[in-house]
Structure 1
Amino acid sequence: MRLRLLVISLLTVSFLGALDHTVVSTSLATVAGELGALKLMSWVVVGYTLASTVLLPVLRKLGDVLGARRIFLGSLVMFLAASLACGFSQDMAWLIAARVLQGMSSAGLQLMSQTIIARVTSQRERPRYMAIIGAAFPIAVLVGPVLGGAITDYWGWQWVFWINIPVGAAALALALVAVPHLEPGPMPRHFDVAGAAVFTAALVALVLAATWAAERSAGPATAAALAVSMLGFVAFYFVERRAPEPIVPLHFFANRTIAAGTALSAIIGVGLFSITAYLPTYVQMAYQTTATVSGLVPIATVFGMLTSNLLTGWLASRTGRYRIFPILGTSLGAAGLFVMAVLPAGLPLWVPMIVMAVVGMGTGAFMSLIVTVVQGAVPASQTGTITATINLVRQVGSTVATAIIGGVIGFGVAALLPAGLDASTLTPQLVKGAAPAVQASVAQIYGSVFAPIFIALAATYAVGIVAAVLLPHGRLSDEPVPAPQTTSESLSA
């Protein structure tokens, strides 16, 4: 019973973090237009994902020192405070700064949720529980876009952030009761300060280079940022090889299961998470819908994701087999995204809904399962480390791809807009009030800008097929993990 209550608690908190990401997506076009900063639109998303990425290794170490429960609860409180600050933003810089704080706290929620559940379940039963917790993202995308669109249309975009407060208060109350007092692991003797600093600098430089290159607005600066990034990652490799306790243990990747699983995790970030935030904007502009209706395409995407995530989690726990699911999933994702790229203009909205549902089904087939598979490839004492590593790679892929996609959209639309329309203040409402010829022109522009993006994402999933085939054959273990020490009574199913 206590384990079920814990799963409900982790699902609620995971839903909170996922809801914040998805409920914001439908308001992006309106926020950018009202604050007069279309070219900074991507940083509302990139700032969030960048902060959550660079903090993962630090939080993994803090979890070892302070315990997963303390980091989990502290991250939740910080997330609520940042949500309040987002709603009071007066300009884009304020909003981006508050989103950075949200991203930092969401990293703690995500990482500690997976670490906690891994410490109280066996590998065989874990896919079922991971699938339930992993369902938070699909559920949030089912609810978030429509909720975000309705709030934007009727209440104002500020409330897409403030809606977190009542949900978060309920989640905090439940977490205080349900999350066990897991004792910290062995005290780290060293903290890889050099590795964390070099990695952060290299990743920030890479995101800046990707954003500027996509916008084609800062040639020398782009080259300099790219050079800093490449040198930073080379330095990071040598630092990690020499560090006594590296933030990313490179020897993990000699294991084929970990190497293939990490690649699949990155593909999820690059191939789908990066585009999710921009789908409503694409639908609003290319299909001339309201913010509320634009949520239907991501809803279809995650309905497919939710269904396959729960089904494959149940099947993997029941049979112990896992390899077939990522092979089928990456194949479906590649096919669906390619179809999205070649869809002609003027089709009914249900067509892209069906296509993106297929993409969602493919992604859900291995989204949560691959975390369990990789966790089983290391000793129990390394569960937190490998969980942080696989999430780090997924987040890096999502962060960089989100920056590139946002830059391509911002530059591409601005370059192709007809005379008389200012890209920095362009909103769906403005387009709907324009002449039919202007509406058709804007729809065509968005279609032509997004087509190569979908092609690139389809190619990413095609690479994922290769990684899935390289996964070794095997079965999930029935052996229970060592019982965690707690200050409360033992968990029991």
Structure 2
Amino acid sequence: MTTPKTIFGSVALVIALGSLEKSIVTTPLPMIGQELQAGELLTWVVAAYLLASTAVLPLYGKLSDLFGRVRMLNISIVLFVMGAIACGLSQDINMLIAARVLQGIGGGGLIALAFTVIADTIPAKEVGKYQGYISVVYAVSSIAGPLLGGFFTEQLSWRWVFWINIPLGLLAVFLINKNLSLLNIRRKSRFDWLGALLLMVVTTLLLLAISPEAHLSKTVLVGLLLGFSLLLLVVEARVSDPILPYKLVHLSGYAISVFLIMCSQLLMFAVLVYLPLQMQWQQGMTASQSGLIMVFFMFSITTGAYCSGKYIAKSGIYKRSAVIGYALATCSLVQLYMGWSVHLSLVFAGLGLGFTLPALSVVVQHILPPKDRGIGMSMFSFGRELGGAVGVAICSTVFHSQVPTADISQKIDVLVLQQGFNLTYLTMAGIAGLALILTIFVLKSKSLD
């Protein structure tokens, strides 16, 4: 019989792939921009992956409910590896962005389905203990990410940032097919293809509407967004098994947990993407030097998640962790704005965001019925990934309101850069403060049975 620990061990590499991809590409960004003459398209190297992975996320969850977790995990990993190969072969910025879209379509299913598998096999109260194991996986992959990104860029080539996914992806396919066949369960139901398509369109339009790099008129994008959103609501109200089950919204604590995890990921990506850029553009550090400093942040996130998970497993109390987490995140972002001790700010920010992750995961896993667990966990992951994409877009908008161009081939005044980065951190501090208020007054505390 396959034990929960065996199942967790099988999906651990999938989690590692997803977390490594989020951190390894941040430190080589300036070098990629310089070699491919990216200009203001540089942030699309991150945003394109996040946009694509976010848009397809609900599809993986719903399809895994219907056709089985293992089938969808296989498809996800294969597409992810194909995208990584295309990224490594890219000769210009447009080709790289297109390849990142393909990689994102595959990457959308990695962590979402891995966490769904864990939710299928581990009781809600015990998930805190397994968050400790997840934290170890995140620690190794996330800390390795900035370091590997800097090392590959300076010693080999930034293309190795993508090549590294190929052997890891093949090993992940082997492990999940060997150990997870018992989870390949089908459920007979008609798939809401029209709803899925409309949801992808709405998500894409939302991200384009808030992105400063979008070429279409903002008025046109907002109009299209409202029109397709209304059409999505009409379609979902008429199908028997919708891609977005309305009943999930009525589950106590579900909607607020999705929004709060979106805030956590938004803040995480704001720091992950913009602090290395500040250290390299404004302070003249190398990719490796900025990567070493980012280790403080990634290690603190995993430490916070580990400690919070252990506390929740022992006490059954989760709200306290979330409150402390957002309070620390708010203070640390104010510190970054004020320019007080970057290292200490990163430690506080990492610990704070780490505290929130297991607390919100526990809420969602505890209240979801088994038959909707795939789509429920995927919508939770959807909120998390949407937060990352929205975070990059908001930061880019705020930053470019002060800095006319992000072309690193040009000399930009240090004071102008500082104003752009400071305003970005101040905006993120405001969002962290909002999340803290909502956690205190809206998130309910319940016992975990």
Deviation at 1:138, TM superposition (A): 4.2
Q: Is the 8 A contact 1:263 1:467 kept in 2?
A: no
Show the counterpart of 1:446: 417
Q: Is the 8 A contact 1:39 1:410 kept in 2?
A: no
Q: Is 1:309 paired with 2:305? A: yes
> Could you tell me how far apart the structure 2 residues matched to 1:385 and 1:15 are?
22
Deviation at 1:407, TM superposition (A): 4.5
Show the counterpart of 1:288: 284
Q: Secondary structure at the match of 2:75?
A: helix
Structure 1 residues 184-195: aligned runs within 5 Å: 184-189=185-190, 191-195=191-195
For the structure 1 residues 192 and 97, does the alpha-carbon distance in structure 2 shift closer, same or farther, using more than 3 Å as the test? Answer: same
Show the counterpart of 2:57: 56
Structure 1 residues 234-249: aligned runs within 5 Å: 234-249=230-245
For the structure 1 residues 398 and 243, does the alpha-carbon distance in structure 2 shift closer, same or farther, using more than 3 Å as the test? Answer: farther
Give the superposed CA RMSD. 2.2
> Could you tell me how far apart the structure 2 residues matched to 1:321 and 1:361 are?
18
**What is the aligned residue count?**
447
For the structure 1 residues 414 and 172, does the alpha-carbon distance in structure 2 shift closer, same or farther, using more than 3 Å as the test? Answer: same
For the structure 1 residues 185 and 467, does the alpha-carbon distance in structure 2 shift closer, same or farther, using more than 3 Å as the test? Answer: farther
For the structure 1 residues 468 and 335, does the alpha-carbon distance in structure 2 shift closer, same or farther, using more than 3 Å as the test? Answer: same
For the structure 1 residues 254 and 328, does the alpha-carbon distance in structure 2 shift closer, same or farther, using more than 3 Å as the test? Answer: same
Show the counterpart of 2:395: 405
Show the counterpart of 2:98: 97
Deviation at 1:208, TM superposition (A): 1.9
Deviation at 1:401, TM superposition (A): 2.3
Q: Secondary structure at the match of 2:48?
A: helix
For the structure 1 residues 49 and 291, does the alpha-carbon distance in structure 2 shift closer, same or farther, using more than 3 Å as the test? Answer: same
Show the counterpart of 1:124: 125
Q: Secondary structure at the match of 1:103?
A: helix
Show the counterpart of 1:420: none
Q: Is the 8 A contact 2:323 2:436 kept in 1?
A: yes
The code of the aligned residue for 1:306 comes to T
Deviation at 1:91, TM superposition (A): 0.9
Gaps in structure 1 of 5+ consecutive residues: 345-350, 416-422, 428-437, 478-493
Show the counterpart of 1:333: 329
Deviation at 1:463, TM superposition (A): 1.4
Show the counterpart of 2:430: 459
> Could you tell me how far apart the structure 2 residues matched to 1:89 and 1:156 are?
13
Show the counterpart of 2:208: 208
The code of the aligned residue for 2:372 comes to Q
> Could you tell me how far apart the structure 2 residues matched to 1:327 and 1:260 are?
14
Q: Is the 8 A contact 1:272 1:457 kept in 2?
A: no
> Residue by residue, what CA displacement relative to the aligned partner does 1:44-72 show, whole Å, maximum 9, x if unpaired?
11111111111112112221232101211
Percentage identity across paired residues of the two chains: 28
The code of the aligned residue for 1:192 comes to D
Structure 1 residues 339-418: aligned runs within 5 Å: 339-343=335-339, 351-409=341-399, 412-415=402-405
For the structure 1 residues 425 and 447, does the alpha-carbon distance in structure 2 shift closer, same or farther, using more than 3 Å as the test? Answer: closer
> Residue by residue, what CA displacement relative to the aligned partner does 1:147-194 show, whole Å, maximum 9, x if unpaired?
1011111211111111222333333333333334214253223x2233
Show the counterpart of 1:229: 225
> Residue by residue, what CA displacement relative to the aligned partner does 1:258-289 show, whole Å, maximum 9, x if unpaired?
12212211111222234413321121122221
> Could you tell me how far apart the structure 1 residues matched to 2:50 and 2:427 are?
20
395-404 or 334-343, larger mean C-alpha shift: 395-404
- Pick from 432, 439, 449 the counterpart of residue 468 of structure 1: 439
Deviation at 1:425, TM superposition (A): 5.2
Q: Is the 8 A contact 1:266 1:394 kept in 2?
A: yes
Q: Is the 8 A contact 2:281 2:408 kept in 1?
A: no
The code of the aligned residue for 1:265 comes to I
For the structure 1 residues 446 and 262, does the alpha-carbon distance in structure 2 shift closer, same or farther, using more than 3 Å as the test? Answer: same
- Pick from 390, 406, 409 the counterpart of residue 426 of structure 1: 409
**TM-score normalised by structure 2 residue count:** 0.93
Q: Is the 8 A contact 2:27 2:150 kept in 1?
A: yes
Deviation at 1:410, TM superposition (A): 5.3
Gaps in structure 2 of 5+ consecutive residues: none
> Residue by residue, what CA displacement relative to the aligned partner does 1:422-473 show, whole Å, maximum 9, x if unpaired?
x53528xxxxxxxxxx6xx643332211111111111111111122222222
**TM-score normalised by structure 1 residue count:** 0.85
> Could you tell me how far apart the structure 2 residues matched to 1:339 and 1:107 are?
33
Report the structure number with the largest CA radius of gyration.
1
> Could you tell me how far apart the structure 2 residues matched to 1:104 and 1:10 are?
19
Q: Secondary structure at the match of 2:188?
A: coil
For the structure 1 residues 306 and 31, does the alpha-carbon distance in structure 2 shift closer, same or farther, using more than 3 Å as the test? Answer: same
> Could you tell me how far apart the structure 2 residues matched to 1:23 and 1:232 are?
35
Show the counterpart of 1:278: 274
